[in-house]
Amino acid sequence: MRKFPIFQPAAAQDKSVAWLEEVILDFLEVQGLKEACQMVREAGKKVVVATPRVLKPDEERLWQFYLRLEADVLLVRQDAPPPPGTRP
Taking the C-alpha atoms of 61, 67, 73 and 76 in order, what is their torsion angle to the nearest 10 degrees? 20
pLDDT in tens, 27-83: 888 888 999 899 889 888 899 999 887 777 788 888 899 999 999 999 987 766 666
- Sequence-ordered strand ranges (E) for 1-88: 22-25, 46-50, 73-75
Note if the pTM is more than 0.85: no
d(CA 86, CA 63): 8
Q: How confident is the model at residue 1 (pLDDT cuts 50, 70, 90)?
A: very low
Cα 15 to chain centroid, rounded: 23
- Lowest-confidence segment of 1-10, 12-21, 52-61 by average pLDDT: 1-10
